[in-house]
Amino acid sequence: MSKIFAIYPLDKSSSTSFLNRIHTFETRKLGDAWHCYKVHFSDEDHERCIQQAKDNHFIFYMGHGGETQLHGACAKHGEMPVDSIAIKENKDFYNKEVFINANNINAFKGKIFFCFSCNSNRNSSNSLARLSRKYEVETFVGCGDIPTDYIDGSKFSKRCIAIYKGKIVKIMKYSLFYAVQNNETVDNLVRVIKLLTSKEILLLLNQRNFHGRDSVIKQLCMFKNEIKIFGNIYSTL
């Protein structure tokens, strides 16, 4: 059993490759205390991942998601609408749109489940956060909006997104490392994340200004303020 069991669905169509930096860092720093399951392009591998996760106390999901579900692996052409036969014949069309939702969140009963994914902090009737309480997940941590892909017409430029992604990866990898090394509670882990985010904001403010700096700072402030804990805040990693 590892201190952290990370779930990292492979995504070839909408890149989450920058998250691999967390895996590389924690592997080097934590060794056997960190285990990252890179979920591949089959339903069987998704189920295998969940079964293995059950043997661990702290689950760290990093990938795409939303209020009511977390997405699984998405292959090179996964976002193209094709039928199930085409997917069986060619894994390049595989897309696990629904990986973790109301139907299997109960697999994490008694666990700490940290969602490093968009809008997992919502507290609506059908949200994963609310359902985690219903199905006795010990602690659920959710994040707000995490913009990691450029949208045409957006004021948040590609350069700003690259800087933002670099910052949140740095924040998360050092926070997890510190929390494991010091056997911290979930509450203290989130406090460390917020502290390191504040430090990165101050660094940006003290640096020479660049186009879009205020947008990056705004997004980092939102990242810090929107992390929410549901359940036992004193659960230890």
Q: Which domain holds residue 34?
A: 4-231
* Beta carbons of 204 and 145 less than 8 angstroms apart: no
- The candidate with the shortest Cα–Cα distance to 147, out of 133, 136, 134, 162, is 162
Residue 51: inside a domain:
yes
* Beta carbons of 237 and 112 less than 8 angstroms apart: yes
pTM: 0.93
Residue 237: inside a domain:
no
- The candidate with the shortest Cα–Cα distance to 74, out of 88, 89, 95, is 95
| Domains held by the chain: number | 1
Per the DSSP assignment, residues forming a β-bridge with 58 are: 112
Per the DSSP assignment, residues forming a β-bridge with 35 are: 5
Residue 236: inside a domain:
no
- pLDDT for position 157: 86
Residue 105: inside a domain:
yes
- In this structure, what CATH number is given to the domain that contains residue 153? 3.40.50
Per the DSSP assignment, residues forming a β-bridge with 37 are: 7
pLDDT surpasses 80 at 84: no
* pLDDT single digits (tens) 144-178: 999 887 665 677 888 999 999 999 999 999 999 99
pLDDT surpasses 60 at 206: yes
In this structure, the chain runs to a length of 237
